[in-house]
Amino acid sequence: MNSHRIKKQKGVALIIVLLIVALVSIIATEMGGRLQLQVQRVINIKDNNQAYWYAVGAEQFARKSVQQILDLDDGVVHLNQPWSQGDLQFPLDGGGIQATITDMRSCFNVNALQVSQDVAGSNASNETTILDARRDAFFRLVQNLEVNVPPLEAETLRDSLIDWLDADDSIYGSFGAEDSEYQSRRNPYLAANDLMGHKSELRLVNGVDPKWINGLLPFVCAIPGNNELKVNINTIDSENAIILQALLNLPGVSDAQDLLSARPRDGYEDINDFFQEAEVAALNLSDEQRNWFDVTTEYFILDTKTRYNDATFSMSSVLQVEENNRISVLRREFGGIK
């Protein structure tokens, strides 16, 4: 009887020992898994940080490079300079940098449809004239798109964009839209009544159709805090010729492409050289239209993609040229939205 009880107790003890060993094994496995996870997490953070600092380094290099170009060429910016040579590749230990610099004066600044007193002067009629000219140019740009925007939708976007940017709550033109329009939607919101921070905000404006908005976005930009309509005639390429067609009110995009192909190899040194071209002089441009053109720029956008080990990072930086050609960063966006 005693031996049977002893055997029974030994069996219970063995089961307890096995349970303890199993529990310790489970805990050890869990601790090992968590340790591996923490180690991998630390590695990922390190790699991501390194990819981020690669992007910051590329930004610093771009700022210095643009400043040197402006100093050497007396502020003239053209497509034959090193900054415009497409994707710049920089191989680095464990990764690399891919960077693209774009002149933000080679697109149509949608913020220009907000005309402030400091742009128009104290004369209200002058403000109206400037806005009308810019409005018509924007409408022509939308109509010139290959995606064939219906005229009614183009007019609605034009007037609604002006309402989106202006500070008042009065509806502009025949197709404008203010808060009442946006509040009536399934997911209501309000008009910004201010300048756009990014061109993607256009998707919120009344009149925009998803069918064609992606066809418009490559030709427009929203320069932060700036409502000038100014393009650099030296940096508009043939793919963006419809911008020049819209600004000059040319019959066809081929006419704009002919003007671009006639540019000097290193661009115009003075904007008056462009105005003296026979084809341009024959257009009898208004003073407002002539103010739309320049041979320099104050804004660039740098799109950077970096890689370090398995980590990748994208950053988009808006660079502003200040006094003495000093370059500052006006805006950064993580994710590389152009």
Q: Can you tell me the distance from the alpha carbon of 332 to that of 319, in angstroms, rounded to the nearest whole number?
A: 9
Residue 8, pLDDT score = 61
What is the count of structural domains for the chain?
Answer: 1
User: Do the domain assignments include residue 309?
Assistant: yes
What pLDDT, on a 0 to 100 scale, did the predictor assign at position 1? 53
Residue at 316 is within a domain:
yes
Positive/negative CA dihedral, 247, 252, 256, 259: negative
Q: Residue 319 is part of which domain span?
A: 2-104+299-334
End-to-end CA distance of the chain: 87
Nearest in space to 102 (alpha carbons), one of 85, 119, 118: 85
DSSP alpha helix (H) spans, the chain: 2-72, 117-120, 124-144, 151-165, 179-183, 213-216, 241-248, 253-261, 271-275, 278-281, 287-290
207 Rama sector, left if φ>0, alpha if ψ -120 to 50, beta otherwise: left
The span from the CA of 112 to the CA of 109, in Å, is 6
Q: Which residues of the chain have pLDDT under 70?
A: 1-11, 33, 35, 39-40, 43, 117-125, 336-338
Residues 205-219: b if buried by 16+ CB within 10 A, e if exposed: bbbbeeebbeebeeb
The verdict on residue 158 lying in a domain is no
On whether residue 270 sits in a domain, the answer given is: no
User: What's the rounded Cα separation, in Å, for the pair 120 and 309?
Assistant: 53
Distance between CA atoms of residues 37 and 40, nearest Å: 5
CATH code of the domain covering residue 68: 3.30.1300.30
Give a yes or no: residue 152 inside a domain: no
- Predicted local confidence at residue 203, as pLDDT: 95
How would you label 51-78 residue by residue, b for 16+ Cβ within 10 Å and e otherwise?
bbebbbebbebbbebbbebbeebeebbb
Confidence (pLDDT) at 338? 45
DSSP string, 262-306: TS-TT--SSHHHHHTSHHHHTT---HHHHTTEES--SEEEEEEEE
pLDDT at 220: 97
Domain assignment present for 259: no
Q: What is the crossing angle of helices 241-248 and 253-261, to 10°?
A: 110
For residue 9, the model assigns a pLDDT of: 64
Residue 246, SS3? Answer: helix
pLDDT tens for each residue of 146-167? 999 999 999 999 999 999 999 9
| Alpha helices per DSSP H over 73-123 | 117-120
Q: What pLDDT, on a 0 to 100 scale, did the predictor assign at position 127?
A: 73
pLDDT at 337 (0 to 100): 44
Predicted model pTM: 0.83
Q: Is residue 131 part of a domain?
A: no
